[in-house]
Structure 1
Amino acid sequence: MLKKQYLKTRPICKVTFRIHKTAAQSASGIALVGDFNGWDTQATPMTALKNGEFTAVLELDTGMSEYQFRYLYDGSRWENDWEADGYAVNGVDGENSIVRV
C-alpha cells in the first residue's frame, strides 16, 4: 500500500510504503529497492511492525514524476506492490512497481 503526503514548503512527497501481513507471509526481512536508492538492496530495509506488517517512509522529489521499485523478501525473492500506481516491464524478470509523485 502507498500513502502520499505532499509538503507545502518543499517539492517533496512523503511516501509510506506498507506491506500487509498477508502479503509479507513469513518473511523475516524485506528491503525497499528502486530508482530512489540506486537499486541498492541494502539501502532501505523496511521496519517490521508487531502486527506482522512492514513499513518504510521516504521523501521523494516531486521533480521526478515517477519512481520504479520492488520489494526484496529475505534477500532472495522479488515482489511488486499489489496497490502500486502502475507497472513497467523491467527487462529482467517481469515488471517493476511504479509510484507517481
Structure 2
Amino acid sequence: MLLISCPWCGPRDETEYHYGGQAHVPHPENPESLTDEQWAEYVFYRDNPRGPFAERWVHSTGCRRWFNVLRDTVTYEVLAVYRLDEPRPELPQAGGNR
C-alpha cells in the first residue's frame, strides 16, 4: 500500500487519491497551429522513465485538490510531495556526501 502525504490534509492511504498523469507538461502556446501529429503527441505521449518521475495526483475523497508527487517508478517510494504552485524539488545526487 502506498502512503501519500497530501500538502493540505497530511498522510493518507493511496485509495483516497486518483492519478492524473505526468506533471509539468506545458500546454501548447498556439494549439490551433499544431499539426494532427503534434497534437496527438501532446495529448497521448508521455515519458515512462525508470526512477524519479513527477506525477499529478488529486485527493479525491479528501480536500479534492491537485498536487504533484515525485515518485520512484522502480521502488514506488514517494520522494517528495509539492503543490502545483511550487517548483519540482531537487533530489540529492546518488553517491553524494552524507
Same fold (TM over 0.5): no
Q: TM-score, normalised by structure 2?
A: 0.29
Q: TM-score, normalised by structure 1?
A: 0.28
**Greater helix proportion:** 2
**Greater strand proportion:** 1
Instruction: State which structure, 1 or 2, has the greater radius of gyration over its C-alpha atoms.
Output: 2
